[in-house]
Amino acid sequence: MPLRLQNIRKKYGKFELAIDEHTFMDKSYNVVLGPSGSGKTTTLRIIAGLEFPDSGRILLDDEDITDLPPFKRNIGLVFQNYALYPHLTAYENIAVPLKIKKMSKEEIDKRIKRVAEILGIAGELEKYPSQLSGGQQQRVAIARALVKEPRILLLDEPLSNLDARIRIEVRGFLKELQRELEMTVIHVTHDQEEAMSIADNIVLLNAGKIVQSGSPFEIYRKPKDIFVFNFIGYSNLLPAKLLGINNADSVGFRPEDARLSNNEGILKGKVKRLQYLGSYKLIEIEIDEGRLVLVRVKPDEDWKEGDIVHIDVPISSLILFKDGVATQG
């Protein structure tokens, strides 16, 4: 189901969410990415019907759902803190939305067993939330959202309460689940690496506005402006005149696009610091006026602190900015 937002406005004091037009892709993994306070949760709550926009329309598969209450939208929502009832077992937690719908005991049981099987928690259904790991609690929360067979699944920072290793595992699991069930997922996060690794499509929000939308590759390789360029991945941003470029005011490039040598390059500097990261090295190089440039090299390249090096970057890897906005593509 494609979900369309049209001319959405929602004001909270100085903050205003303002989305002119966006379509979340059907049967795909959509990520809403942005810094804290950029309006991600507000966007999800408006889609779920927990908040109403001051103006604008929400269309689900061409049906106008703007004025529908949450329970009539059939959209599943999983909060950051899972919000499980502590005094109910996993089974009873998952049953809550079906009981509200006055479904028969048999149908409830059938649905819960099916969804628990899919999520790999069939053996945990009699346990209370306090007896489950963070990852299992999260699966119960997802099961509770999925058991209604929602048209869209909304996830608000679903991985932020898990520790680093489990986070990567659950990330893979969420993507698989989306593929298997051919669902439309909208996943909110402030973590650019998480967004890049899981999304089919990323919507980047800043201060209540969409700054760019596209595949992870497009966002990384063709950032629309300096905010996007700096927000995603490692970045180098320099005044254009340092590189002898006149038709822009600043120039960006990624650390992996630069090469180091002893004699040729567009920049020259001194190796300040090296970080060995197993499959690559990150080298900080001090150029003019104490500016630092980050270059990524193969682990066997043997540069040392204090070395004078030349940095070369192919012209095709340079991103030019004028008044903060990318000038090409």
Footprint on this chain of ligand ADP (rule: CB under 6 A):
12, 15, 34, 36-42
CA distance 12 to 178: 33
- CB of 100 closer than 8 Å to CB of 70: no
Nearer to Mg ion, 41 or 66 (CB): 41
Q: Which residues, other chains included, contact 21 with Cβ-Cβ below 8 Å and sequence gap of 6+?
A: 4, 5, 6, 7
| Binding piece for Mg ion, criterion CB under 5 A, among 9-17, 38-46, 52-60, 216-224 | 38-46
Nearer to ligand ADP, 15 or 85 (CB): 15
CA distance 224 to 212: 7
Least distance to ligand ADP from the beta carbon of 12, Å?
3
34 binds, among ligand ADP, Mg ion, none (CB under 5 to 8 A by kind): ligand ADP
Nearer to ligand ADP, 38 or 93 (CB): 38
Angle of CA points 212, 215, 220, to nearest 5°: 70
HSE at residue 214, side-chain half, CA atoms within 13 A, is 13
Least distance to ligand ADP from the beta carbon of 158, Å?
13
CA distance 191 to 174: 16
12 binds, among Mg ion, ligand ADP, none (CB under 5 to 8 A by kind): ligand ADP
Nearer to Mg ion, 42 or 93 (CB): 42
**Residue 320 carries which side chain, given as an amino acid letter?**
L
246 binds, among Mg ion, ligand ADP, none (CB under 5 to 8 A by kind): none
Nearer to ligand ADP, 13 or 290 (CB): 13
Nearer to ligand ADP, 79 or 128 (CB): 79
Nearer to ligand ADP, 34 or 53 (CB): 34
**Residue 244 carries which side chain, given as an amino acid letter?**
G
217 binds, among Mg ion, ligand ADP, none (CB under 5 to 8 A by kind): none
250 binds, among Mg ion, ligand ADP, none (CB under 5 to 8 A by kind): none
Does 41 bind Mg ion (CB under 5 A)? Our answer is yes
Joined together, the tokens standing for residue 316 give: 């095709």
Joined together, the tokens standing for residue 189 give: 């996060």
Number of residues lying near Mg ion (CB under 5 A):
2
CA distance 63 to 73: 10
CA distance 30 to 136: 23
134 binds, among ligand ADP, Mg ion, none (CB under 5 to 8 A by kind): none
Name the CA dihedral angle for 148, 150, 154, 159, rounded to a multiple of 10 degrees: 50
User: Which residues, listed in sequence order, are joined to residue 225 by a DSSP beta bridge?
Assistant: 325
38 binds, among Mg ion, ligand ADP, none (CB under 5 to 8 A by kind): ligand ADP
- CB of 148 closer than 8 Å to CB of 76: yes
Least distance to ligand ADP from the beta carbon of 202, Å?
14
Least distance to ligand ADP from the beta carbon of 36, Å?
4
Least distance to ligand ADP from the beta carbon of 42, Å?
3
Q: Tell me what percent of the chain is helix, strand and coil, each rounded to the nearest 5.
A: 35, 30, 35
Nearer to ligand ADP, 119 or 198 (CB): 198
The residues binding Mg ion (CB under 5 A) are: 40-41
